[in-house]
Each structure stands twice: as C-alpha cells, then as structure tokens.
Amino acid sequence: MAENKTIELNVKGMTCEGCVAAVTRIVKKADPQAEVKIELASGKVDIQSGVDAGVLTAAIAKGGYEAQPR
C-alpha cells in the first residue's frame, strides 16, 4: 500500500449519523487502517489513507452516496 495521504471529499446524500457510520464502514472496508473524519452538516469527509482517492470515491458512490474531491 502507498504512503498515507489526506484525501478531501464532499459527500452528498448523508442525512444522519447512520449515514456517517455507513460512509466510515465503506472507507474502512477499502482501507482498514484509514482515519476518517466526517462533518455531517457540510458533507465534508477527510480521510488519511494509502488507498487511491479514486478507489475510495468509487466505493462511496457504490454505497449510494455522491462523492467528489474538494
């Protein structure tokens, strides 16, 4: 796995703490070592991960949320 980097995403479709937990699980499934910080109100998601941003964005989208780089 590559060196950890900060990935900043805007995620649309999160409406509750359950959504926050779901997005966190999706990221952790792609990278169990990832650190995930989510601001529900703004949809801001910061991830420390060695996994490529495109992989994480695609995984979040597959989970039913719209994710775009900030």
Residue-wise pLDDT for 3-46, tens only, equals 899 999 999 999 999 999 999 999 999 999 999 999 999 999 99
What is the per-residue pLDDT for 68?
Answer: 95
Helix ranges (H only) for 1-70 are 17-30, 53-62
Closest CA to 37 of 65, 8, 14: 8
Domain coordinates in residue numbering, the chain: 5-69
Is the per-residue pLDDT at 2 higher than 90? no
Q: Over 60: is that where the pLDDT of 1 sits?
A: no
Cβ atoms of 68 and 10 closer than 8 Å: yes
C-alpha Rg value of the chain to the nearest Å: 11
Query: Cα dist. 45→4, 12 in Å?
Result: 16, 10
Q: Which amino acid is at 70?
A: R
Q: Please tell me the class of the 5-69 domain.
A: alpha beta
Q: What is the pLDDT of residue 3?
A: 84
